Amino acid sequence: MIIKSADIETLAAWAEHYPQELLPEIAFAGRSNVGKSSTINCLTNRKNLARTSGQPGKTQTLNFYKINEEFRIVDLPGYGFARVSKSSRKTWQKMMEMYFTQRVCLEEIVVIVDIRHKPSPEDQEMYKMVLEMGFRGIVVANKADKLSRSAQNKQMAVIRETLMMPSEKDLLIPFSSESGQGREELLAVIQLKLDEVYVEEEDEESQE
Ligand SMILES: Nc1nc2c(ncn2[C@@H]2O[C@H](COP(=O)(O)OP(=O)(O)O)[C@@H](O)[C@H]2O)c(=O)[nH]1
Ligand SMILES: [Mg+2]
């Protein structure tokens, strides 16, 4: 996939502020500070498209980025930040629930984990939810630049086991937003998903 354009479209917390035009959306979920924004910048080859920060727990909106005038990448608010209050946790849950249940053009969810660590209970919960909602699910193991290739392989097995993704068909991609490792693979997987969506749309049109 060639990224011809990538622009921030909207920041939104609730459905009434989501972009009105329905384009296929690929959402990126993950713990605060795992590198969601960095991954989006890496994929789109834009240094500062998605705001990154050393300070976790900052993104409290869904950030919609329009890519190639064709689809969107959605940066979801991060979870798992220990110091957030009960009420902001509730708000986070409501925001996610609204987006996941109401957004008809949501086509796939990428769950980003840290390759150095065993996925947290919240990572496990998120991936499980993605499958239960009927998505294929793509797990990106970020920050691979921090490990040697052999350590990466070892951690990939830990992640597969913890998230219960034994089959080769369960997509797990070692990735680094620093080095670009895994970038082409993730773009290809997203392209495949979009191709599927377009075929479905054509079928629906020909039935009308
Ligand atoms: N070494 C390394 N650092 C990364 C990588 N991805 C993100 N980071 C760093 O992790 C921190 C959090 O990244 P950010 O994209 O803001 O995470 P977000 O909260 O999930 O959006 C920043 O300091 C990034 O520079 C990576 O692949 N490798
Ligand atoms: Mg972020």
* pLDDT 10s digits, 166-179: 898 999 999 999 99
**pTM for the structure as a whole:** 0.94
CB 123 within 8 A of CB 97: no
Determine the pLDDT at residue 86. 82
Cα dihedral 112→150→169→188 (10° resolution) = 60
Determine the pLDDT at residue 201. 84
Is the pLDDT at 82 greater than 70, yes or no?
no
Determine the pLDDT at residue 149. 97
Is the pLDDT at 108 greater than 80, yes or no?
yes
Q: Which atom of ligand 1 is nearest to the CA of 30?
A: 20
Is the pLDDT at 64 greater than 90, yes or no?
yes
Which ligand has the minimum distance to the alpha carbon of residue 63? 2
Q: Which two tokens stand for residue 80?
A: 């798992």
**79 DSSP assignment:** B
CATH class of 6-207: alpha beta
**Average pLDDT in the 45-71 region?**
82
Instruction: Please name the residue whose Cα sits nearest to atom 3 of ligand 1.
Output: 143
Q: Ligand 1: residues whose CB is within 6 Å? A: 30, 32-38, 52-54, 56, 78, 142-143, 145-146, 176-178
Cα dihedral 189→72→183→164 (10° resolution) = -50
Q: Which two tokens stand for residue 111?
A: 């769950």
Band (pLDDT 50/70/90 cuts) for residue 55 is low
The least confident of 54-63, 108-117, 138-147, 186-195 is 54-63
**Average pLDDT in the 67-93 region?**
88
Q: What spacing in Å lies between the alpha carbon of 125 and ligand 2's midpoint?
A: 20
Domain coordinates of the chain in residue numbers? 6-207
Instruction: Please name the residue whose Cα sits nearest to atom 6 of ligand 1.
Output: 35
- Counting every residue written for the chain, the total comes to 208
Average pLDDT, the chain: 93
Is the pLDDT at 151 greater than 70, yes or no?
yes
Out of 38, 41, 112, mutate this one to test ligand 1's pocket (max ligand atoms within 8 Å of CB): namely: 38
